[in-house]
Amino acid sequence: MTNQYTLFEEYYRKWIHMYKEGSVRQITLDRYYLTHRELKKRWPRVRMCDLDHYIYQKLINDYAEDHEYLTVKAFHHHCKAAITDALDDGILTRDPTRHLTLKGKQPKPKKAKYLSLLDLKRVLNQLKLGGRADTDWLIFLIAKTGMRCAEALGVTPEDFDFENNTLRINKTWDYKSSKGSFQPTKNKSSIRVIDIDPITAEQFQKLTRKADPDWPIFVPKTKRVYTSTINNRLRIYCRRAGVEPISVHGLRHTHASLLIYDGVSIPSVAKRLGHSNTITTQQTYLHIVKELEARDNQKIMENMVRLS
């Protein structure tokens, strides 16, 4: 029975089982269990009744010694969710997370997240696009659509509408599992239909003509797909093109950035990316929005000068 003398790591494990298993995606569930492993390794003897403001701050400080700030913040978010339920259930009488000070190591220098239009063209020119749907075609499709890698891996021939030049995104591929399987999208907003250009549509119509309509076009039936393989291939092409290497997720950022730079509205970009709201899009690409605002302000001033 869970009470104030229950170990914190044990309560947290039971909390995951009770509230998270079956209600979140496997990849999210794995993160909760990763937090549990950290709790069990670092603070195996801390009981629920031991949790006060000082003890919890020390726990977070210990974790922050070898983790970056954002990682510490996510760790705290997981712990606090369980602690909040413990408060509601009367196991704790005071909230040990109040007035918490979050710390963390200095983040490593950030690598390039997206490419310019010219650099993207240089990279795409390195691709060896043959008559079989392979890693190069996967890279090409993500660059053209801004899909998440797991979404692109889950694409089947049936998802294409070649008459209307559209692509339906309604599932992902669980590449982290040894067997691999279809999984739901990240959220309901991720289920969407996006436009693709006629040339890309024609290319994939040829590629998928004889493919199994219900099997992912980029996933061999007898082999496992690794994102590290995809990222390594992309880095090779970036170096050959003479540009700063990016990850395959960076192609998604590149796609969105180029659309925003070209004047596509934030709501339209958010819908194409499958973001749950426009706030996510604005926060992710805030640097571009500010840059465009500065450019617009310059145009406004130039127009005002003409009227003088």
- The answer to whether 217 and 211 have CB atoms below 8 angstroms apart is yes
pLDDT value of residue 110 = 62
Between strands 192-195 and 160-161, the pairing is unpaired
**How high is the pLDDT of residue 222?**
85
Q: Which of 237, 253, 213 is nearest to 129 (CA)?
A: 237
Query: Looking at the domain assignment, is residue 51 inside a domain?
Result: yes
Q: From the CB of residue 161, how many other CB atoms can be counted at a distance below 10 Å?
A: 13
Is residue 80 located within the same domain as residue 205? no
Tell me if 273 sits within 8 A of 281, measured CB to CB: yes
Could you tell me if 122 and 72 lie in one domain?
A: no
pLDDT at 87: 96
pLDDT 10s per residue in the chain (308 long)? 788 999 999 999 999 999 999 988 888 899 999 999 999 999 999 999 999 999 999 999 999 999 999 999 999 999 999 999 999 999 999 999 999 999 998 877 666 588 989 999 999 999 999 999 999 999 999 999 999 999 999 999 999 999 999 999 999 999 888 788 999 998 899 999 999 999 999 999 999 999 999 999 999 988 899 999 999 999 999 999 999 999 999 999 999 999 998 889 999 999 999 998 898 888 888 877 777 677 677 777 777 667 65
What secondary structure letter does DSSP report for 112? P
Spatial CB neighbours of 301, under 8 Å, sequence gap ≥ 6:
none
Q: How far apart are CA 143 and CA 133, in angstroms?
A: 15
Q: How far apart are CA 153 and CA 159, in angstroms?
A: 12
| Co-location of 233 and 164 in the same domain | yes
CB 196 within 8 A of CB 144: yes
Is residue 146 a part of any domain in this protein?
yes
Residues 252 and 122 grouped into a single domain: yes
The domain in which residue 44 lies consists of 8-88
Q: Are strands 182-183 and 166-169 parallel, antiparallel or unpaired?
A: unpaired
CB 44 within 8 A of CB 7: yes
Q: How many residues does the chain have?
A: 308
Number of domains in the chain: 2
For residue 74, give the 3-state DSSP assignment. helix
Shared domain for 127 and 245, answered yes or no, is: yes
303: in domain? no
Distance CA(64)–CA(256), nearest Å, equals 33
pLDDT of residue 98: 92
Report residue 122: phi and psi, to 5°.
Answer: -60, -40
